[in-house]
């Protein structure tokens, strides 16, 4: 091999550094580009409806009147209801796997849970459509609610099942981080297992568990397919938990390819823009909590 | 505290402990029921639909019995493969920047936050963006636009794992290479990256497992297609699209096929996840 001139190295070194830096910058540009694209594409709707878009309830592609409140409400109800349903189970599961069960059982179970978290959402949707919907319909007939089977409640249940493995594994990881000497100190003072969990483990792991819940919320807010398949796709203000409804993500999934008018398309993109802003805030919040945790 | 209340107090604490731990165990085990039902239902319904013809035949027209998902299988491999080709070089180089050049600089921190933000963007929003960037200028749906959408979703995963893995490469290796007169860029390509290759591959596998089942970003990009196509400029079918379209169709035979496609997709995704875990364990073993 011929020895290259000493200056040659520098040239290639600089070029390689520039390419790598460029690709790093590209990640920033892509995120900025997503935001700018969403703003530009939704401009006709922003111009036509202004802030009214956020609190009017008429969504009418025929008369071209668009207000997103029913979808904001649909997303908030399904996400928070899913969180409320999933949180106790996720927390109990995390305590069980992180503290109570012996590792020789806990490890394989954790492995299976992480695999379940990887199953695509469209498959959860398929299962819910054919197994959960009839179950909910039966339940609705029992309590005298309109027996659609589909609707806000069913969508919340699927979401709860989907975010549970995710919230559980984050919380379990945090619980495992609690130093052994703290726990041993509590046991040494004669504390029972529950007292140790309640007064040592949970306070220590609190912010991490909260971060896990916020991350799970971020997931639930943007979840599309499973919700779209069971929520019933009705673009009016939901009146009860048993109503057919739409979330922000599901209305985009349903109407985007059918929107023929520019304003309709722009209104759908504006919902996407809102979804983007909400999830960015939620994820940054979780990130700040996690950074604080590391500092501690 | 008198001597008489002490034992009752003690007993109450023990009792409370048993009850609450019992409740925790029950709450922990309950969700296993729906999760295992899902797995069992997928297997039961899906395996019934599986046959060689199902995997190798094209779909029949709506309402007609039979037919298969060969075009969707090909489409999923094609679209995911193309997104790997688009996304992986960008991600690895960005990961190299973070670990070798940027390190703790302001710019590196901005890139890390951007990657986190990108990872959190809902997949349906990624679909809108790919529509605006690729479908609109081209004038029609295409496999390429689907791949761009999926590449956007895999980039943050691969960037962060590449950075983490390369940071684990000991500086001694870099110094040894530099001391032999190898320039830094060749050190990165010939020493640092190959050392971290297993980790980077794991990251790519995790990302592929994540995007292979994505449906929302393909709805208005790859769109779907009842025919076999190898042209990235044309609409293309994919397994998740088949599951969604067939499950929400009015034909019973298509429901059966949706389950068949679901079991194939589940095996693919679970297989990739298991593989990436085995690789990750190998790295942990090497340390």
Q: Is B233 on the interface with A (CB under 8 A)?
A: no
CB contact under 8 A, A125 and B101: no
Closest CB to A26 among B90, B121, B214: B90
CB contact under 8 A, A92 and B37: no
Q: How far apart are CA B79 and CA B219, in angstroms?
A: 13
Among B7, B157, B17, CA closest to B94: B157
Q: Give chain A positions within 8 Å (CB) of B185.
A: 12-13, 15-17
Query: Given a cut of 90, is residue A131 above it in pLDDT?
Result: yes
Given a contact cutoff of 8 angstroms between Cβ atoms, the answer to whether A186 and A178 are in contact is no
CATH 2.40.70.10 fits B67-286, yes or no: no
Q: How far apart are CA A41 and CA A239, in angstroms?
A: 32
Q: Using pLDDT thresholds of 50, 70 and 90, give the confidence band for residue A117.
A: confident
Tokens coding A17: 């550094």
Among A278, A153, A133, A158, CA closest to A227: A158
Q: Which residues pair with B236 in a beta bridge?
A: B223
Given a contact cutoff of 8 angstroms between Cβ atoms, the answer to whether B261 and B72 are in contact is yes
- A155 to chain B, minimum CA–CA distance in Å? 15
Q: Give chain A positions within 8 Å (CB) of B131.
A: 256
- pLDDT at residue B1, rounded to an integer: 47
Greatest CA separation for chain A: 86
Q: Give chain B positions within 8 Å (CB) of A253.
A: 124, 216, 219
- pLDDT at residue B62, rounded to an integer: 81
DSSP-based three-state secondary structure for A245? strand
- pLDDT at residue A2, rounded to an integer: 47
Radius of gyration of chain B (CA): 25
Residue A219, CB half-sphere, CA atoms under 13 Å: how many? 25
Q: Using pLDDT thresholds of 50, 70 and 90, give the confidence band for residue A295.
A: low
Q: Using pLDDT thresholds of 50, 70 and 90, give the confidence band for residue B155.
A: very high
Q: What is the dihedral of CA B241, B245, B247, B250, to 10 degrees?
A: -170
Closest CB to B128 among A21, A221, A272: A272
Query: Given a cut of 80, is residue B7 above it in pLDDT?
Result: no
CB contact under 8 A, B35 and A218: no
Q: Which of A83-97, A118-132, B17-31, B269-283 has the lowest mean pLDDT?
A: B269-283
In a domain, A37, yes or no: no
The residue extents of the domains of chain B are: 67-286
Q: Is B40 on the interface with A (CB under 8 A)?
A: no
Closest CB to B123 among A194, A222, A283: A222
Residue B127, CB half-sphere, CA atoms under 13 Å: how many? 28
Tokens coding B175: 């110094």
Closest CB to B97 among A20, A126, A221: A20
In a domain, A112, yes or no: yes
Given a contact cutoff of 8 angstroms between Cβ atoms, the answer to whether A115 and B273 are in contact is yes
Among B154, B151, B147, CA closest to B238: B147
Residue B239 buriedness (CB in 10 A; 0-12 / 13-18 / 19+): buried
Q: Using pLDDT thresholds of 50, 70 and 90, give the confidence band for residue A1.
A: very low
- pLDDT at residue B4, rounded to an integer: 53
Closest CB to B110 among A12, A28, A100: A28
The CA-atom distances, in angstroms, between A95 and each of A174, A175, B211 are: 10, 7, 31
- pLDDT at residue A6, rounded to an integer: 54
Our CA angle for B28, A115, A105, nearest 5°, is 50
In a domain, A3, yes or no: no
pTM of structure:
0.93
The per-residue pLDDT for range A162-199, each reduced to its tens digit, is: 999 989 988 999 999 999 999 999 999 999 999 999 99
* Residue of A29, A86, A119, A275 to mutate, interface with B, max B Cβ within 10 Å: A119
Number of domains in chain A: 1
Q: What count of CB pairs under 8 Å joins A to B? A: 248
- Residue-number span of the structural domain to which A206 is assigned: 54-295
In a domain, A2, yes or no: no
- pLDDT at residue A153, rounded to an integer: 96
More confident residue, A107 or A228: A228
Q: Is B43 on the interface with A (CB under 8 A)?
A: no
CA-nearest residue to B94 within chain A is A24
- pLDDT at residue B280, rounded to an integer: 83
- A116 to chain B, minimum CA–CA distance in Å? 8
Q: Using pLDDT thresholds of 50, 70 and 90, give the confidence band for residue A7.
A: low
Closest CB to B129 among A34, A114, A194: A34
In a domain, A24, yes or no: no
List phi, psi (to 5°) of B105: -70, 165
Q: Which residue carries 């040494």 as its tokens? A: A188
CA dihedral (B159, A293, A88, B36) positive or negative = positive
Q: Is B35 on the interface with A (CB under 8 A)?
A: yes
In a domain, A280, yes or no: yes
Q: Is B90 on the interface with A (CB under 8 A)?
A: yes
The per-residue pLDDT for range B52-95, each reduced to its tens digit, is: 889 999 998 887 888 899 999 999 999 999 999 999 999 999 99
Q: State the CATH number of the domain containing residue A173.
A: 1.10.3720.10
Our CA angle for A241, A266, A232, nearest 5°, is 25
Q: How many CB atoms lie within 10 A of CB B175?
A: 11
- pLDDT at residue A88, rounded to an integer: 95
Among A255, A166, A267, A172, CA closest to A218: A166
> Which residues have C-beta within 8 Å of that of residue B27, sequence separation ≥ 6?
A88, A89, A92, A93
The per-residue pLDDT for range B162-199, each reduced to its tens digit, is: 999 999 999 999 999 999 999 999 999 999 999 999 99
| Per-chain mean pLDDT for chain B | 92
ipTM of the complex: 0.92
Q: Which residue carries 């979780």 as its tokens? A: A286
* Residue of A4, A15, A31 to mutate, interface with B, max B Cβ within 10 Å: A31
């Amino acid at each position: 091999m011929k020895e290259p001139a000493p200056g040659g190295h520098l040239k290639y070194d600089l070029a390689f550094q520039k390419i790598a830096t460029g690709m790093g910058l590209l990640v920033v540009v892509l995120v900025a580009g997503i935001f700018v694209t969403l703003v530009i594409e939704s401009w006709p709707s922003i111009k036509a409806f202004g802030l009214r878009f956020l609190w009017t309830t008429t969504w009418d592609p025929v008369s071209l009147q668009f207000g997103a409140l029913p979808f904001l409400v649909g997303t908030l109800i399904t996400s928070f209801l899913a969180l409320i349903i999933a949180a106790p189970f996720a927390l109990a599961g995390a305590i069980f796997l992180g503290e109570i069960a012996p590792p020789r059982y806990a490890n394989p179970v954790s492995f299976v849970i992480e695999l379940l978290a990887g199953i695509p959402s469209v498959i959860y949707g398929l299962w819910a459509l054919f197994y959960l919907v009839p179950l909910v319909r039966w339940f609705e007939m029992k309590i005298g609610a309109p027996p659609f089977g589909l609707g806000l409640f069913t969508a919340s249940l699927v979401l709860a099942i989907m975010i549970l493995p995710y919230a559980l594994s984050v919380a379990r990881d945090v619980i495992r981080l609690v130093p052994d000497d703290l726990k041993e100190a509590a046991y040494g003072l004669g504390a029972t297992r529950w007292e140790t969990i309640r007064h040592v483990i949970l306070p220590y792991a609190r912010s991490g568990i909260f971060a896990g819940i916020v991350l799970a919320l971020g997931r639930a807010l943007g979840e599309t397919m499973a919700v779209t398949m069971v929520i019933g796709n009705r673009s009016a203000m939901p009146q009860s938990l048993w109503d057919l409804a739409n979330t922000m993500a599901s209305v985009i999934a349903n109407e985007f390819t059918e929107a023929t008018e520019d304003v309709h398309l722009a209104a759908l993109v504006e919902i996407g823009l809102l979804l983007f802003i909400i999830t960015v805030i939620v994820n940054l919040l979780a990130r700040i909590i996690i950074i604080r945790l590391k500092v501690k | 505290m008198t001597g008489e209340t002490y034992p009752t107090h003690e007993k109450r604490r023990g009792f409370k402990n048993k009850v609450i731990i019992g409740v925790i165990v029950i709450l922990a085990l309950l969700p296993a029921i729906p999760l295992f039902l899902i797995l069992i239902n997928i297997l039961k319904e899906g395996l019934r639909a599986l046959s060689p013809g199902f995997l190798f035949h094209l779909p029949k027209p709506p309402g007609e019995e039979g037919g298969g998902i060969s075009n969707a299988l090909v489409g999923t491999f094609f679209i995911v493969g193309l997104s790997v080709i688009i996304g992986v070089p960008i991600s690895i180089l960005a990961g190299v920047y973070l670990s070798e050049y940027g390190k703790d600089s302001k710019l590196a921190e901005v890139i890390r936050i951007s990657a986190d933000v990108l990872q959190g963007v809902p997949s349906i929003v990624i679909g809108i963006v790919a529509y605006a960037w690729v479908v609109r200028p081209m004038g029609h749906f295409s496999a390429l636009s689907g791949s761009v959408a999926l590449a956007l979703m895999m980039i943050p995963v691969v960037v962060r794992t590449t950075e983490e893995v390369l940071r684990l490469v000991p500086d001694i290796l870099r110094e040894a290479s530099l001391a032999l007169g190898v320039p830094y860029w060749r050190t990165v390509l010939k020493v640092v990256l190959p050392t971290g290759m297993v980790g980077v591959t794991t990251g790519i596998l995790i990302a592929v497992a994540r995007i292979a089942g994505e449906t929302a970003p393909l709805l208005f990009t790859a769109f779907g297609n009842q025919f076999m196509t190898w042209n990235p400029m044309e609409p293309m079918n994919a397994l998740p699209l088949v599951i969604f379209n067939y499950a929400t169709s009015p034909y019973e035979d298509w429901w059966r096929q949706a389950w068949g496609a679901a079991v194939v997709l589940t095996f693919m995704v679970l297989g990739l996840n298991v593989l990436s875990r085995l690789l990750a364990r190998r790295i942990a073993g090497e340390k």
